[in-house]
Each structure stands twice: as structure tokens, then as C-alpha cells.
Amino acid sequence: MNELFEEIELNCQEEINKAIEHQNNEYLVIRAGRANPHILDKVYVDYYGVPTPIKNMASITVPEARILAIAVWDQSQVKNIVKAISQADLGVTPNEDGKIIRLIFPMLTEERRKEIVKNLKKIAEDTKIAVRNARRDAMDMIKDLEKEGEISEDDKSVFEEKIQKLVDVSCDKIDDNYKTKEKEIMEI
């Protein structure tokens, strides 16, 4: 009986972990007025017919707080990388000298910071929705176990309470992630 619940709890925990990991990955690519190589994680270049991430085609460094330097290994791909970055609409224009591509990030305006925070809030809310969906699925499985006579009504209540505690802790973590990133964005 407890093995069934442990399996349900484990599945629920895995779904919650995936949602929080997704939130963290989304937050990594959002810039905070400083150069962050992760902003290029979602930019793909057509490299001989294969969509390839920039990090697989070049070394990306942060020589100064607001500058990313991209040293392309295959010089014939510099123009393609510049084009991909321009099309990605990152809010920065690539400068290239034939060998190195530089991305100079402007200081964020107050308006842009508020826009970014709004986007952060949406990501946090979407993450909470994913967590609540995982909770709903787990609760449905627990109810099915009770209907089939596998567990008692008391066991059902205890298991539902454990799942709810798991969800509450996860929602607190999501809020903490949001507040940390919001503070980082709003810092001048």
C-alpha cells in the first residue's frame, strides 16, 4: 500500500522538479543589465543545414560587465552567427570585426526592467500551474486507489496532506526564485 503512494509521490516530485528546473533555465537567459552567456542558449545557427547552438560553434567570454565576446572557431560562420543573433531579437546589436563578435549590452531603462519583471512573474505563474497540475494528477491517483479499495479513507487523507505539503514547499521555492531574479533585475 505504501509502495503505491511512494510511487505516486515520486512521480509528483519529478514533475515538480522538472517545472522548477524549467523556471530556472528560463531565468538564466533573461539578462539583468550584465552580460550573461546564457542569453545565447536559445539562439541557433544554420551550420551546414543543421541548427546548432552558438556555444557549440564558438567560445563565449565576458571581458567586461556589459560585453559578451564570441570567438568563432569556423571563420566562415561569422556572418551566419551575426545574422542569427540579429534575428533572435535579444535587444542588442552584434558588432563584428571578422574574427570576434561583440555584444554590448546597454543599461536597462526603468521601463524595460518593469517589462522584464512582468515576464518573470508570468514564468513563475506558469511554473506554479505546472506544479498544481502535478498535484491534481497525484490526487486523482490517490482517489482511484481509495475507490478500488487499495487504501482507506484515513490513508487517503494522510497521503493528500503529504502531497499538499510537497506542493506548498515547491511554491515557496518558485516564489523565492522569482524574488531573487526580480531583485537582480531591479538593481541599478
Better-scored residue on pLDDT, 104 or 17? 17
* pLDDT at residue 41, rounded to an integer: 82
Count the neighbouring beta carbons within 10 Å of the beta carbon of residue 21.
11
pLDDT at residue 163 greater than cutoff 70: yes
Which region, left, alpha or beta, applies to residue 61 given φ > 0 means left and ψ of -120 to 50 means alpha? Answer: beta
Grid cell of 147 as nine digits: 475507490
Reported CATH class of domain 37-104: alpha beta
Residues 5-50 have pLDDT tens digits of 888 899 999 999 999 999 998 888 776 667 778 888 888 988 888 8
**pTM across the whole model:** 0.72
Mean pLDDT of 97-120: 84
Residue 46 backbone phi and psi in degrees, to 5: -75, 100
Domain residue spans in the chain?
2-28+109-186, 37-104
- 173/81 Cα distance (integer angstroms): 36
* pLDDT at residue 176, rounded to an integer: 94
Mean residue pLDDT of the chain comes to: 87
pLDDT at residue 1 greater than cutoff 60: no
- 46/11 Cα distance (integer angstroms): 37
Better-scored residue on pLDDT, 109 or 10? 10
Residues 66-91 have pLDDT tens digits of 888 989 898 888 888 888 888 887 77
Residue 125: CA atoms inside 13 Å, Cβ hemisphere, count? 6
* pLDDT at residue 31, rounded to an integer: 65
Count the neighbouring beta carbons within 10 Å of the beta carbon of residue 136.
13
* pLDDT at residue 12, rounded to an integer: 92
Grid cell of 14 as nine digits: 519529478
- 109/90 Cα distance (integer angstroms): 15
Grid cell of 10 as nine digits: 515520486
Task: Look up the CATH number of domain 2-28+109-186.
Answer: 1.10.132.20
Q: pLDDT-based confidence at 136, cuts 50/70/90?
A: very high
* pLDDT at residue 140, rounded to an integer: 93
Residue 185: CA atoms inside 13 Å, Cβ hemisphere, count? 24
Tell me whether the CATH fold assigned to 2-28+109-186 matches the one assigned to 37-104.
no
